[in-house]
Amino acid sequence: MSDFLDQDAVAISASIEAGEITCEEFMAATLERILQVNGDVNAIVSLRDPDEIMEEARAADRSERRGWMHGLPLAVKDLANAKGLPTTMGSPIFEGQIAEKDDIMIARMRAAGAIIIGKTNTPEFGLGSHTFNPVFGATHNPYDLSRSAGGSSGGAAAALACRMLPVADGSDMMGSLRNPAAWNNVYGFRPSWGRVPTEPVGDTFLHQLATKGPMGRSPRDIAALLDVQSGPDRRQPHGCPAEPTLPSIEADVKGRRIGWLRDWGGAYPFESGILELCETAIGKFDDLGCRVEEVAPPFESEEIWKSWTTLRSWAVAGGSAALYENAETRAKLKPEAIWEIERGMGFSALEVHRASVVRSNWFKRAAKLFEEYDALLLPSAQVWPFPVEWRHPEEISGTKMDTYHRWMEVVIPIGLLGLPCLNIPAGFSSGGLPMGLQMFGARGSDAALLQLGHAWHAATQHTASLPGVIAAS
């Protein structure tokens, strides 16, 4: 029965529809896997009562099929609300808070038939690409339990790698669907901004950095889940109709032009072995008939960084200033959150405006670049998964990091513009640690990127390499 856990979610769904396996059987295998490995990895938190979950699976077997996710287990990232489950956001401020309703994206996945079994672990408020918090502790990398699983969708990525979930939801401001996917040898997709709506709370016009999105062990699964999550919400101004991506996933990618940005002309430091692994990996695109060319830095990296850190801190302050202004809750905030909020509260309107002008200029330059290239490539992380007891890396190959998140700088040229981006697994270090590549394109090119990812997946099959924690269980 555990063989089903290794299959892609779309294949599992087809097996359930064909009667080759029941929802009850698949759920039992899933809960057994969670029992075996989650104690070591700590990816799934707030797990519901297993008897209640199994009864819901049996009810799914008796009921009419609701969608392609019918009967599939899902654990929701602990930044989103799932009715009846805690939403802690990794913070003691919200420990014990129970959601009264589903967020938009969660409601859509539940309507497609998913059975929500619990939550996945995340850093406090999702800040920082290392999943640890004072409520649930740290999530460990299943390929090396002494290492970080990344973040902020670290619990989701680790659960996928361990076959504790067939697909997962996540969110991404500063690489949170990409870095953990790279470090756990799975796929993570940051959709075009506005394709997947967030909750219509507070400002819905100005902040365009974070988005929800899917994670999976194949681009086909990513496409299937993205199609469930996508679509406008009438209460929000920026959403737009989104064409389904799954029907077009099979495509001839021969002749597509891909640009390799490497280390942005030396602007981004990398730990030893990462660039070499990525450059070896992208040779597979040549085998697929694509044309890969190295591209010079298209925009000044420091200007992107200044724009990003201004707009990010402004956004964090906009969402969390009330927690800072209350002395009781401020005492429970982690230092990184306080730093972001204080910076954001200190900016003038003109400083925010200037940062957005830089973003606008970079967007125009990128649009010109996508007239030449179908996709661009960057590594998904500048460091290998680091020791789980660290808060964050303080230097990379001799270069000191001046903020808690500077080591993640390679993800921000994409996030600043709201571009679609797929992490594709790129292989492993000599010590067996996973790494990935960011493959990104123009806004609205989600389907085209997933087509390239699908071809890559068929040619590489990196996700078939199971983490050691499974073999040891």
**Would you tell me how many other CB atoms lie within 10 Å of the CB of residue 335?**
9
Distance CA 412, CA 406 (A): 10
Which one-letter amino acid corresponds to residue 433?
Answer: L
pLDDT at 240: 79
Task: Summarize pLDDT for 82-105 with one digit per residue, the tens.
Answer: 999 999 999 999 999 999 999 999
Evaluate if residue 1 carries a pLDDT over 60.
Answer: no
Which candidate in 13, 46, 77, 91 is catalytic? 77
Active-site residue flag, 212:
no
Compute φ and ψ for 159, nearest 5 degrees.
-65, -40
Residue 471 pLDDT grade (very low, low, confident, very high; cuts 50, 70, 90): confident
Q: How many helices (H) and strands (E) does the chain have?
A: 16, 17
**427, exposed or middle or buried, with CB in 10 Å at 0-12, 13-18, 19+?**
middle
- pLDDT of 472 above 90: no
Query: Which among 46, 148, 153, 176 is annotated as catalytic?
Result: 176
Phi, psi (deg, nearest 5) at residue 51: -65, -40
Of the residues 129, 148, 152, 153, only one is catalytic, namely: 152
Q: Is residue 81 a contact partner of residue 74, using CB atoms and an 8 Å limit?
A: no
Chain-centroid distance of CA 373 in Å reads: 24
pLDDT in tens, 358-405: 999 999 999 999 999 999 999 999 999 999 999 999 999 999 999 999
Cβ–Cβ contacts within 10 Å for residue 454, how many? 22
Q: What pLDDT was estimated at residue 286?
A: 97
**Residue 326 in this model has a pLDDT that exceeds 80:** yes
Mean pLDDT within 149-163: 98
Residue 181: which H helix or E strand, with range?
helix 179-183
Check pLDDT > 80 for residue 216.
yes
For residue 436, what is the enclosing H or E element? strand 434-440
pLDDT above 90: percentage of residues in the chain: 98
Is the preceding omega at residue 397 within 30 degrees of 0, hence cis?
no
The pLDDT of residue 52 is 98
Listed by start position, the domains of the chain span 2-472
Task: Say if CB 214 and CB 167 are below 8 A apart.
Answer: yes
What is residue 452's three-state secondary structure?
Answer: helix
> Rounded distance, CA 142 to CA 129, Å?
16
Q: Which tokens belong to 359?
A: 């973003």
Q: How far apart are CA 160 and CA 19, in angstroms?
A: 24
Asked if 282 and 436 count as a contact pair (C-beta separation under 8 A), the reply is no
Task: Tell me which DSSP letter residue 144 carries.
Answer: E
pLDDT at 384: 98
Q: What are phi and psi of 70, to 5 degrees?
A: -55, 115
Give the type of residue at 354: R
Residue 180 has pLDDT above 90, yes or no: yes
- Tens-place pLDDT, residues 2-20: 689 999 999 999 999 999 9
Q: Which one-letter DSSP state was computed for residue 409?
A: G
Closest CA to 443 of 412, 423, 420: 420
**Around Cβ 4, how many Cβ atoms within 10 Å?**
18
Q: Which CATH superfamily is domain 2-472 in?
A: Amidase signature (AS) domain (3.90.1300.10)
Does the active-site annotation cover 380?
Answer: no
Mean pLDDT of the chain: 97
- In the residue annotation, 152 being an active-site residue is answered as yes
Q: Which two tokens stand for residue 217?
A: 């062990």
Look at residue 2 in the predicted model and tell me its pLDDT.
62
Mean pLDDT of 288-299: 98
Map residue 455 onto helix, strand or coil: helix
Residue 239 confidence class, pLDDT cut points 50, 70, 90: confident
